[in-house]
A and B are shown apart, each in its own frame.
Chain A
Amino acid sequence: MIPTILLTSLLIFWAMDLTGGDPVQTILPENATVEQQEALRESMGLNRPFFIRYFDYMLGIVTGDMGTSYVTKLDVFDTFMHRLPMTLALGGTALLISVIISIPLGIWTALNQNTWKDTLGMVLALFGVSMPNFWLGLMLMLLFSLQLHWLPSGGSGGIQYLVLPAMTVGLGLAALITRTTRSAMLDVIRQDYITTAKAKGASHHRVIYTHALRNAMIPIVTAVGMQFSLVMTGSALAETVFSWPGIGLLIVNSISKRDTPMVTGSIILCCILMALINLLTDIIYAYCDPRIKAQYSSKG
């Protein structure tokens, strides 16, 4: 993970260096003299070679200083942490919505394979996969806030502001997880142990939820875990559409303002977040699959 973060940060730092424009012009008022600009450049260390600046920046990170934004003059780490709960709330609700919709739908379509119910579920899921997330957001906004006036069209505040962005991200995700759940269930319900369970006289409910779903969980959890990066990008788009003040909007805005410390810092923090999510996925694996748990406990 550490080499990945090192290299990622180097690449982003380099990328922002190539495209960043001149931060001095962002910071100083427009009527600043050339001398003032040069003095600021010198004091910020912008005249030094690229690798020295990068090394200096990384040294700062190791000691817990991620720098300050060129635009807002606020500490990057604080800003990120201030915005993080918003994105976690959005991502978490979206994930919840998608799981509530997709797992029952996936099971239902798998159990009714090759009937109209299966076709209906799969057509819906296919539509969901084929739809650009931000467009779904625009359509939801058009319907629920501009036509029906049920929900606000953007901003943040009470729970009513969360509904539309979370639906936007959640529905797109639900489509993907439905497809995975269906195929995982189809794999499992043909296994011998399902026949055995049925033969033992276990109830339909027990066979499906205890024997089949439990075994189908691994690919489903993998799919959900893998989609986390999608949740982040999806959130960036949904946040832009609904002006939800989360990390996605922060990064998108900082990129357009060429705010190098903000972009670099946020993305490094996102990488760490991703790594934590992957760890969480692995822990859930162990919970779902006793064989994996046994592997860990035997190692100590």
Chain B
Amino acid sequence: MENKMENSHEITSAELKQAKGRSLAQETWRRMLKNKGAVIGMIFMILLIIVALLAEFIYNYDTDIVAQSASSSFSAPSAAHIFGTDQFGRDIFARVLYGARYSLLIGCGSVAFGLLVGLLLGSLAGFYGGFIDNLVMRANDILYAIPNILIAVVIVSLLGTTPLSLLLALSISAASSFARIARAAVMQIRGQEYIESAYAMGLPTWKVILRHIIPNCLSPIIVQVTLAIGSNIIAASSLSFLGVGVAPPMPEWGAMLSDSRQYIRSAPWMCIFPGLAIVVTVLALNLMGDGLRDALDPKLKK
């Protein structure tokens, strides 16, 4: 006993730090910071979120975003309007900035909602198997077969062309993909010994799922979250483009593109800039997602 005590005195603080190591989250964060693409993506997303939050204070929705002024319609990009103006003379730069709020809100909101539902159903299906599994997976197959656009049409025509109904529509397909991933991950973990020992300790099933299973299958899910936000932003804009998403005059990027189509000959800037905004945002999210995947699973990188 005394011998051990003496030994512990000899350990320097640096050694102690090394011995303690880092948590998985710290380790992931450290690896992520080494990935240039992921850092660029992260910085861009932080900036975009700040812009989206501040847009309300920079621009007045009624006078700067939707107000029409025929005198300045279809001006090409210039110092006064760096992205040009649209058919109603509205400044496209302001609308693109303001539109970030809708895209981010719909992208993140639909993923969050889908994650909640998908994680719950998927982990139940993976954990219990049998009837519940069958039920969830068949429902999933059906959702898979119905085109997103139709789900969106139903929800949008029931609730109206608002960002919220688009968010709900997209969260359904997000839920189905999260359910698949969660199910696969849970099935893999279910048989592990530490789950058996958690049971042996007398934990109730819900606690085993919540405390031991879900935390252990989080990494594929976290990666999917980042990527799903990006793909839902694209899906939202596609739906608005087809006319079943957010309705004009709201400056949603897809709705702006839908508007721009008929003026593509005379005013090409109208369809260039909102599209670029989507590309850059989704690119940033994908860079983050890829970086996160590499950071969580370093085997892939080597």
Q: Interface on A for B, CB 8 Å cutoff?
A: 3-4, 7-8, 11-12, 15, 18-19, 126-127, 129-135, 138-139, 141-142, 146, 183, 229, 232-233, 236-237, 240-241, 251-252, 255-256, 263, 267, 270-271, 274
Given A138-B264, A233-B148, also A133-B238 (CB < 8 A): yes
User: Is B207 interfacial (CB 8 A cutoff)?
Assistant: no
Contact B230 A130 (CB under 8 A): yes
Instruction: List the A side residues contacting B287 at CB < 8 Å.
Output: 126
User: Is B203 interfacial (CB 8 A cutoff)?
Assistant: no
Instruction: List the B side residues contacting A4 at CB < 8 Å.
Output: 138, 141-142, 145
Instruction: List the B side residues contacting A135 at CB < 8 Å.
Output: 237, 257, 271, 275, 278-279
The tally of residues in B whose CB lies under 8 Å from a CB in A reads 42
Alpha-carbon gap, A78 to B292, bound state (A): 49
Q: Which residue from chain B places its CB closest to the CB of A119 in the assembled complex?
A: B37
Contact B264 A233 (CB under 8 A): no
Which residues from 264 to 299 on chain B have a C-beta closer than 8 Å to any C-beta of chain A? 264-265, 268, 271-272, 275, 278-279, 282-283, 285-287, 290
Given A126-B286, A135-B275, also A142-B149 (CB < 8 A): no
Instruction: List the A side residues contacting B300 at CB < 8 Å.
Output: 183
Instruction: List the B side residues contacting A252 at CB < 8 Å.
Output: 149, 242
Extra A-B contacts (18), CB below 8 Å, given A135-B237, A146-B268, A255-B149? A3-B138, A7-B138, A7-B142, A8-B145, A12-B146, A15-B153, A18-B154, A126-B283, A126-B287, A127-B279, A131-B278, A132-B237, A134-B257, A139-B272, A237-B238, A240-B242, A267-B150, A274-B145
Q: Interface on B for A, CB 8 Å cutoff?
A: 138, 141-142, 144-151, 153-154, 157-158, 230, 234, 237-238, 241-244, 254, 257, 260-261, 264-265, 268, 271-272, 275, 278-279, 282-283, 285-287, 290, 300
Q: Which residue from chain A places its CB closest to the CB of B158 in the assembled complex?
A: A18
Contact A237 B241 (CB under 8 A): yes
Instruction: List the B side residues contacting A237 at CB < 8 Å.
Output: 238, 241-242
Pairs of residues from A and B, 4 with the lowest C-beta to C-beta distance, nearest first:
A135-B275, A19-B157, A130-B282, A130-B283
Instruction: List the B side residues contacting A127 at CB < 8 Å.
Output: 279, 283
